[in-house]
């Protein structure tokens, strides 16, 4: 897991992580930084970002997060970005190295049923409690708080669009992306996954197991 801070003026670019990622600050106006980022050989992703906003780029093995963290008070056309890189395989490896098992075991969940209203409410309540704990531990900065809220809100929204097994599969990826976005150290990653295990793992697995074939 790596992360770097970069300062870019207008029409400036940075080639990062041994040429794997290119981040360009194309223009600055009214507090917004317009950027373009691409993984080498991939299609550029463009965004108009305010402070605290972030974009994600990923391929099969790597996730990149680019966060607009601050602008220069003296030269307002300069913007600072925090760029995080994480190998997807490292997400579970770090948790396991700290003695934490995977928060979900999905092999026994075969239900393709939709969620009932009661089940949705139970999971919403659980996710709300999880969010409070993760915010308290890792949401001390504006951009971190926004990333946490956005990802958990996304999981809540999926309850109305996905069936049980699909939601469980998706949730693993979302929480992995969240861990990457927060650029957690090994010890922090262990704490994060313990939160997921406590709030989401067995309780939600039991819930999703209702009616399984």
DSSP 85-124: EEEHHHHHHHHHHTT---S---TT----PPPPHHHHHHHH
Q: Compute the distance between CA of residue 189 and CA of residue 19 in angstroms, rounded to an integer.
A: 27
The Cα–Cα gap between 68 and 161 comes to 31
| 165-196 pLDDT per residue, tens | 778 777 777 787 787 777 776 678 778 878 88
Other C-beta atoms closer than 10 Å to the C-beta of 176 total 19
In this prediction, residue 106 carries a pLDDT of: 42
Residues contacting residue 210 through CB under 8 Å, at least 6 positions apart: 111, 119
Q: What is the pLDDT of residue 134?
A: 92
Q: Please state the separation of Cα 155 from the chain's center in Å.
A: 11
Residues of the chain with pLDDT under 70: 1, 60, 72-76, 88-111, 185-186, 201-213
pLDDT the model gives residue 15: 93
- pLDDT score, position 103: 44
Q: What is the pLDDT at residue 128?
A: 92
Determine the pLDDT at residue 202.
59
């Amino acid at each position: 897991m790596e992360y770097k801070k970069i300062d870019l003026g207008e029409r400036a670019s940075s080639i990062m992580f041994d040429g794997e990622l290119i981040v360009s600050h194309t223009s600055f106006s009214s507090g917004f930084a317009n950027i373009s980022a691409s993984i080498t050989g991939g299609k550029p992703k463009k965004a108009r970002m305010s402070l605290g906003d972030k974009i994600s780029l990923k391929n099969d093995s790597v996730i990149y997060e680019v966060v607009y963290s601050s602008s220069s008070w003296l030269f307002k056309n300069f913007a600072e970005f925090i760029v995080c890189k994480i190998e997807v395989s490292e997400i579970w490896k770090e948790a396991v190295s700290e003695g934490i098992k995977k928060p979900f075991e999905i092999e026994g969940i075969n239900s393709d049923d939709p969620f009932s209203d009661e089940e949705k409410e139970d999971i919403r309540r659980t996710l709300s409690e999880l969010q409070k704990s993760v915010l308290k531990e890792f949401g001390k900065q504006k951009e971190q708080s926004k990333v946490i809220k956005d990802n958990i809100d996304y999981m809540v929204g999926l309850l109305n669009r996905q069936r049980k097994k699909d939601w469980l599969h998706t949730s693993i990826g979302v929480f992995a992306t969240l861990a990457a976005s927060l650029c957690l150290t090994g010890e922090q990653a262990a704490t994060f996954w313990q939160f997921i295990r406590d709030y989401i793992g067995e309780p939600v697995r039991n819930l999703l197991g209702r009616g399984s074939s």
